[in-house]
Structure 1
């Protein structure tokens, strides 16, 4: 069972890292790039991004991170490594609140409103629409980024403690 718990902890680390990098890239490049172009182009580009992001590569990492973390936590707890289990449970909770719920309750509704928007011909009207989307969307994305990195760090800490407390993997 230790090998399975270790494997799932490493998988959690990889998934959390993928999500942290995904959201970080948006916060530190994608949204800046879209803010720098014609707002009509930014609107159309983000509409396209929001369609293609729903895919078989993104979904396992987005939905699987907290699930795998909680399963690993349960396995570590069953082996008596309560501190490792606690770190993984906290990592899952941080992800669920700061990444998953923020996405579902805030970013997705903003994306859906933008999807129903036809970019106006007038550039100032488009700029108003884009800025009313981009500013709050990016703020909430920073929260998702921080939460995903917290999940990553907590999982790394759990992995470190697991290695210290269970040096012989059987």
Structure 2
């Protein structure tokens, strides 16, 4: 058994769980809190959070999870761990297509559009902006949350399958 296989499996688990946890926190607290806040505050806070997420702490989970999962699957295939490799490959595909690609296609453009909005002084104008942004953004976030959670489950199944041909 390759000396890289188990460390890669654990790194895959860690990165997958970090990505899922990040998206999950937005679902169950952050967006609900912003939706209850003054919409002017919600807009300004979301702009600040979106600007701050581009950092070296988040980048490995967002940009590294799918490649690490696929590398892990490749190493496992070379080590004749086909069953485990299948699950890691599925996890990598799910993350790449249904978490990262959806984020790039939907959430990021919405975030960039919101970043260009001047926070209005008028609360009703702010309500309209937030109502146009938040529900749609949350739908895409819920999809990427569920799919990244499925990827974590796939990694767990893959780890359980290690040692079986």
- In which range does the TM-score fall when normalised by the shorter chain? over 0.9
For residues 68 and 5 of structure 1, the distance between their equivalents in structure 2, rounded to whole angstroms, comes to: 11
1:128-143 map, 5 Å: 128-143=128-143
Matched residue, 1:93: 93
Aligned to 1:144: 144
In the TM superposition, structure 1's runs of 4+ consecutive aligned residues that sit over 3 Å from their partners are: none
Shift of 1:81: 1.3
CA distance in 1, matches of 2:90, 2:161: 15
Contact 2:83 2:164 in 1 (8 A): no
What is the CA distance between 1:97 and its match in structure 2? Answer: 1.2
Q: Does 1:48 align with 2:48?
A: yes
The offset of 1:49, in angstroms, is: 0.2
What runs of 5+ residues in structure 2 fail to find an aligned partner?
none
Task: Determine the structure 2 residue equivalent to 1:12.
Answer: 12
CA-to-partner distance for each residue in 1:112-131, whole Å, 9 max, x for gaps?
A: 00000001111111001001
2:124 counterpart residue number: 124
Secondary structure at the counterpart of residue 4 of structure 2: helix
What is aligned with 1:23? 23
Which residue is equivalent to 1:108?
A: 108
SS of residue paired to 1:165? coil
Unpaired segments of 5 or more residues in structure 1?
A: none
Which deviations, in whole Å up to 9, do the C-alpha atoms of 1:4-32 show, x marking residues without a partner? 11110110100000011110000100000
Q: Determine if the alignment matches structure 1 residue 154 to structure 2 residue 146.
A: no
- Aligned partner of 1:69 in structure 2 is 69
TM-score where L is the length of structure 2:
0.97
Counterpart CA distance in 2 for 1:95 and 1:61 is: 10
Q: How far, CA to CA, are the matches of 2:45 and 2:97 in structure 1? A: 28
